[in-house]
Amino acid sequence: MASGRRALLVLEDGRVFKGQAFASQGETLGEVVFNTSMTGYQEALTDPSYHEQILTMTYPLIGTYGINDEDNESSRVQVAGFVVKEYQSVPSNWRSKKTLRTFLEEHGVIGIEGIDTRALTRHIRLAGAMKGIISTETDNVAELLEKVREYPGLVGRDITKKVACQNPYVWQDDSPVPSNQWQDPNHPYKVVALDFGIKYNIIRELTKAGCQVLVMPGSTPASDILALQPDGVFLSNGPGDPAPVTYGISVV
């Protein structure tokens, strides 16, 4: 376990968890949630579905295989903060390019360890996902609790626009390439994927199935989509509350 700066995780109901920062410093607000996977922390960190959430991993030792160049689900870390029981600072894997700490710090995301993640997970499971704040700046719980309760949270807010693409792209050589046209207009299976926070692996799987995929913003007018004469239209999942994303319904 790293010997980092003291950190607090304060939930909106007043519950406090104490730990240490192993990556970045400062304060961050978000909805506190958990993930029970034993592996796949890189995919989870970069999954747009977790945007503006403080993600807790229930598996006790995280960071063992580092970070590679292939397993990202988007172009950046999406979580607001990362909570683990114990961080492993010396990864061992042939694909590893950097440590988890380096990855989080490159994206300015706070990671904390030394938290009783079992107690936190049980609390969230029983009480439901709730707002929280991570801070390495102060031990004043009352001050942090006030900030949490002022934070608007995710309900009623459209945060898909923060993670969805602004311009269309195609999938080429396992990477997004800007384009608003089909690479092969005669391809038998052309699919427009509307991006509300799409994961790269969804595009990979559609491509593996033989589809040519053109990813477009979720707010793209139906007339623009139909003009491309796709064989299918795919609507991605995304983060937060779907209720405010009314333009997606209009397109369909």
Measured distance CA(148)–CA(152) in Å, rounded: 8
Could you report the per-residue pLDDT of 133-180, keeping only the tens digit for each?
999 999 999 999 999 999 999 999 999 999 999 999 999 989 999 999
| pLDDT tens track for 61-114 | 999 999 999 999 999 999 999 999 999 999 999 999 999 999 999 999 999 999
Alpha helix segments (H runs only) across 77-116: 100-106
Query: Side chain identity at 183, as an amino acid letter?
Result: Q
What CATH number does domain 160-251 carry, 3.40.190.10, 3.40.50.300, 3.40.50.10470, 3.40.50.880? 3.40.50.880
Average pLDDT score over the chain:
96
Query: Are 109 and 23 a contacting pair, CB within 8 Å?
Result: yes
Exposure b/e, 82-105, CB count within 10 A at least 16 = b:
bbbbbbbeebeeeeeeebbbebbb
Which CATH architecture best describes the domain 6-150? Answer: 3-Layer(bba) Sandwich (3.50)
Domain limits, the chain: 6-150, 160-251
As a whole number of angstroms, the longest Cα–Cα distance in the chain is 63
- Ramachandran class of 52: left when φ > 0, alpha when ψ lies in -120 to 50, beta otherwise: left
Nearest to 115, CA basis, from 32, 239, 52, 41: 32
Compute φ and ψ for 240, nearest 5 degrees.
Answer: 70, -155
